Structure formats: structure tokens, C-alpha cells
Structure 1
Amino acid sequence: MNICAGIVLFNPEIERLNENIEHIRKQVPMLILVDNGSSNLENVKSLICGLPNIILLENGKNLGIAQALNRILRKAQKEHYEWVLTLDQDSVSTDGLIREYRDFLENCSEKNIGCLTCNIVDRNFSLEKREEGFEDIDYCITSGSLMNVEITLSVGGFDESMFIDKVDCDVCINLRQHGYRIVRIAYEGLLHEIGHAKQINLGFRKWELYNHSSFRRYYMCRNASYLLRKYHNGYVFKMFLKEIFQFFLVLLFEEDKKEKAGKSIKGFFDGFKASPACSKG
């Protein structure tokens, strides 16, 4: 079973990236890096200089995470890999992650798995996890996901019109609509961090504040309404409502409210105006 890994880079923190690379490169025969116009690209090149089986592909400018992920998939396909582990530049895998994924796939009789994920430990707080076995889920984040290369490309890959934010949600919906499964195994395989997040208690439940920039707020809101127009299903509608609620949390609890609010509102309207990309089927 051929498995490689890929990381999308944009102005990475070099020490964290080094930790990321060191943990994953010992587990796979090839690591693909796609750089989206990092200002510290020379530092990245110095970091990987002399390390075997690392391929660096340069975009020259920021073409978005979806384009970079598709480039990783196409390179993996060209090199005859069946599966590719996608990682964020600041995520760190455990040393046993690929072994756990491989063991699951080799002992699983099902042939319609499009993506595998694991339990994720966030540096700020724990994400939802399963204690044992495995389960089918609706959605998983890109980082730590083991993507079936042929299947993902056959349904159209990542939607490059989305640029950044919720591209993982889109590809998961697309895979499931084509009859493929998203499966989470009960293994804590990734140390991850979502922005500079913190939790607040509003009485009836806890909510996360991510303190994203106004640039990110634009794409979060833009792609929430874009996906609602693209898929017209209950899952996406709930995600859209959650983004509206998150908008009000930003107004109440975060800094730079005026700028973030303006970008968010523009994002919501731009998403509804955008023409959704067609999925292959």
C-alpha cells in the first residue's frame, strides 16, 4: 500500500515546520511540500537541504490552499501513490499515525473509503474524539486526513474557487455524495492548533473564539454561503447558521470588530453571488 504525505506552506514558523517534517518524513517514502509564495522560502529551503525524499513545489505566489492540495494530489498520482496524508504546516503527527492508518486499511474489507482521519488533539482544547474502534463521520479537517488519491481526483479534488477555509468541508460532502465514506479511527494521531483559539461559556454550551484575521473571516463567511448555494442540504445549512452565530461572537468578544464585521458581511454576499463549481460524477 503506497502512502506519501504533503504539506501546504505559507510563511511557516520554521521551528514548528521542522518538528512537523521530522515526525512525518520517517513514516513515508516521499514528502511533498507546496509553497504558496512564502516570504521565508529560503529558510524553508535551508531546513530541508540534504533531507532525502522531500519534493518542494513552488507556486511563486499564494494560489490558495485548495490549489496547493490539488497539486499535492496530482504529484502523488504521478508518482504512483494510492494514498496521501495531508498536513497543515503547523500540525505535528504522532510517530505511529501512518502505521495505524495502514493497519486499518489492510484489515478493512470495505473498498469505498475516500478519506481516513483520526482523533485530533488541539493545542488550545480537545476536539471531538472516539474512544475505541472506528466510525463514519460527515466531515473532517484536512490536516491529518489520509486521502485516497484516485477517488479524490475522480470527484474533482478540492474546489479551487474557495481559496481557503471550508475546502475540507466541501471535499468531504463531495466524496459522500459520490458514495464514498469518511472514516475516523480511534487513535490520537495529530497535534493541531486552530488559530489563537479560546473557549467561552455562554451558559447553555461552550463556544470557540478563533481570533482569525479579517482576511480569514471574509473567506469563512464567503464559503459558508457559497456551500449553501452549492449543495442545498441540511448539513450545510447548519454550518451556515453556525457561521452567522460566530459572526455575532466576533462582534461581542473579539478585537478589530469593525474591520472583521465588514469583511464578514461582504463575504456572505459574495458567496451567494459566486457560481459554484461543478463536481465530477
Structure 2
Amino acid sequence: MPQQDSVVAVLSLFNPPAEVVERVRRLQRQVDNVVVVDDGSPSPDARTFEQLADVAQVIRLGENKGIGAALNAGIQHARAAWDPAWLLTLDQDSEIGPHFIERALETAQRATGAGIKVGAVTPETHNGTRIDMLPGKDEFGEGFDPMQSGTLISATALDHVGLLDEALFIDAVDSEYTARLRQHGYRLITGDGCDLSHTLGQARPMKFLGLRVKIAGRELNVYYHAPFRVYYMARNSIQLTRKYLLGQPAWIFKRVALETIFHLIRVTYGPNRMALLKAVVLGTRDGLRGRRGRIPQDVQDKLTAP
């Protein structure tokens, strides 16, 4: 039987920076236990993992299996060791704000008291900015497409809908779980006053014909992702559309529209445009073919070829 309001945090790591140790120490002040999962880092820093072993349970995967597999390994370990009521998933470049857990649990308790089937509690803001929200149903906010980092998942919901979809590997793993929870009647509510600090890719200058793009005198940036990440974004978006279009058409249509806009911005204004365009095309092709799992080596080679 899970301990009421007990929380274990699970972090997925890949070649983590040394500062992740202090981040975990600060995280410990808000949760009962922490599990960190090394997702097959090709060049791990031994000193960093030695220090992590002093402040958290460390799991090392023998190969890079993707964020879904890494988080699932941590969740399963946490549930076997401590049987918590809630699991907080985090990326290595994210950090919850002060009183995050306390506020999230208070919000969940009020929502449950109001008859809401709470599947997860997500941040209300990222880096101080309110996340994109669904139209309001009641006093409890609900993010349109919340990312997994900073999501507090109910153990009861995990028992009902299962673990994350490992075959997506990376990107849209959180979106698929959001859709699955909603498909089973759960809500993902935002925690009142819960903020997550998170790095949103690499900001690169937005340029067109070699000139900086400006709006109202303000120079704009493009948040750059490597071509292999864009491949997963395009491919997995097709997977989500096929799986949830009939059950959640409005959500899917908006998500596809936003993804299309982001892809257009990347290939029009961002760096490495031809490789990114190739990634979108190949990802869409493989999504239509139903391909899952790690990016095929021949596709990876095409995306890195000069």
C-alpha cells in the first residue's frame, strides 16, 4: 500500500554535467527519495556518478535505450523499493521551484475532493511563463501538452494505464502518456504556483537571407534541435495522430498544427536547414511506415552526411 503523499523523483541522465549533483541535493529537500538513471552515457564522468551515489539511488543502463526506457527503469525501481504514492519525472536540465511538491500535492488533494480523477500534476509555469492551457472546465487548470519533466504522476494512474511508451525512444513520450491518461478518464492538472526551470534547446539567431529577423525591433531566436531529434519529433507525431485522432481530434489537430509551424520555422530560419528538412521528411516517412524504436543507422548516417 503506497504511503499517502510519499514522492520519489526519477531523473533520466545522459552524459550529465557536474552541476546535476547539487541539483539532486536541492531536490532531496522536497521529496522522500531520488532515483537517477544513466541512459547509457557514452562518456560518463566517473566523479559525477560517485557523488550522485552519495545522494541518490543510481541505476546504470548498459546502452542508450531512450528516455521512456530510462524513466520506466527508475519508476519500477522506486515502486519496488518504496511504493510511493507519486512519481516525479525530471530531465537532467530541469529543476523544480520552491515548495513545488507541497503545492502540487495540495492542488491534487483539492481536485480529488472535488471529484476529479487526477492522473498527474504538472507545472503551472516554465521559467516563470504560464504553459499553454486547455480551455477551462473548472478552477483547476490543465496544460495542453505538458512535458514529462516536472510531472508528478499518480501511482494509481500508473497501475491503470501502464508505463511510458519506450518504443517512441525520445520526443512525444510525454505527449503519448498525456493522451493515454486522458483516454482513460484522468486529468493532468497544473499545480497552483508550481514552476519548473528548464532549458528549451539551443537558442540560435533567426535569420532569413543572412539577415536577423526582427519584430517590433526585437531580434528573434530559433530553438535549435539536432536533426536526429527532429526526426523523432516528425516520426512520433505521426504515431500519436494515428493512435489518438479519433478519441481526441481537437487536441491532435492543434498539436499537428503547432508541430508544422515549428518545423517550418526551423527549416526557414534556423541553422543546418537542409539536414533539418531531411529529418522532417525521413521522420514523416518512417512514421507513416509505423517504424518505432531507435533511429535506424542508415537514417542517422543520412542526417549527419556532409
TM range (shorter): 0.7 to 0.9
Q: What is residue 64 of structure 2 aligned with on the other side?
A: 62
Uncovered stretches (5+) of structure 2, i.e. residues with no partner: 134-138, 207-212, 294-306
Alignment RMSD (CA, Å): 2.6
- Match status 1:256 vs 2:272: yes
Q: What is residue 220 of structure 1 aligned with on the other side?
A: 233
Post-superposition shift, 1:111?
Answer: 5.5
Under a length normalisation based on structure 1, what TM-score does the superposition of the two structures give? 0.86
Post-superposition shift, 1:238?
Answer: 2.4
* Contact 1:92 1:190 (8 Å CA) reproduced: yes
* Contact 2:86 2:153 (8 Å CA) reproduced: yes
CA separation in 2, counterparts of 1:93 and 1:238? Answer: 28
Q: What is residue 272 of structure 1 aligned with on the other side?
A: 288
Deviates more, 1:4-13 or 1:105-114: 105-114
- Match status 1:163 vs 2:163: no
Between Structure 1 and Structure 2, how many residues are aligned?
269
CA separation in 2, counterparts of 1:19 and 1:95? Answer: 15
- TM-superposition CA deviations, 1:205-245 (whole Å, max 9, x none): x9973200011111111111111112112312322232222
Q: What is residue 297 of structure 2 aligned with on the other side?
A: none
Could you tell me which amino acid in structure 1 is paired with residue 33 of structure 2? M
**Residue 135 (structure 1) aligned to one of 141, 158, 165:** 141
Q: What is residue 17 of structure 2 aligned with on the other side?
A: 13
Uncovered stretches (5+) of structure 1, i.e. residues with no partner: none
* Contact 1:66 1:163 (8 Å CA) reproduced: yes
**Residue 236 (structure 1) aligned to one of 249, 252, 260:** 252
- Match status 1:40 vs 2:47: no
Post-superposition shift, 1:67?
Answer: 1.0
Structure 1's 188 and 28: CA in aligned 2 closer, same or farther, altered over 3 A?
A: closer
- Match status 1:103 vs 2:109: no
Post-superposition shift, 1:45?
Answer: 1.5
CA separation in 2, counterparts of 1:154 and 1:275? Answer: 26
Post-superposition shift, 1:258?
Answer: 1.3
CA separation in 2, counterparts of 1:254 and 1:60? Answer: 35
Post-superposition shift, 1:276?
Answer: 8.1
Post-superposition shift, 1:247?
Answer: 1.9
Post-superposition shift, 1:20?
Answer: 2.1
Q: What is residue 116 of structure 1 aligned with on the other side?
A: 121
Q: Which has the larger radius of gyration?
A: 2
* Contact 2:18 2:48 (8 Å CA) reproduced: yes
* Contact 1:229 1:276 (8 Å CA) reproduced: no
CA separation in 2, counterparts of 1:199 and 1:134? Answer: 37
Post-superposition shift, 1:127?
Answer: 4.5
Secondary structure, aligned partner of 2:191:
strand
Could you tell me which amino acid in structure 2 is paired with residue 257 of structure 1? R
Secondary structure, aligned partner of 1:13:
coil
Runs of 4+ in 1 over 4 A off after TM superposition: 198-204
CA separation in 1, counterparts of 2:214 and 2:178? Answer: 30
- TM-superposition CA deviations, 1:173-226 (whole Å, max 9, x none): 10001000110123143111111236978869x997320001111111111111
Post-superposition shift, 1:84?
Answer: 0.8
Could you tell me which amino acid in structure 1 is paired with residue 149 of structure 2? S
Under a length normalisation based on structure 2, what TM-score does the superposition of the two structures give? 0.79
- Match status 1:178 vs 2:191: no
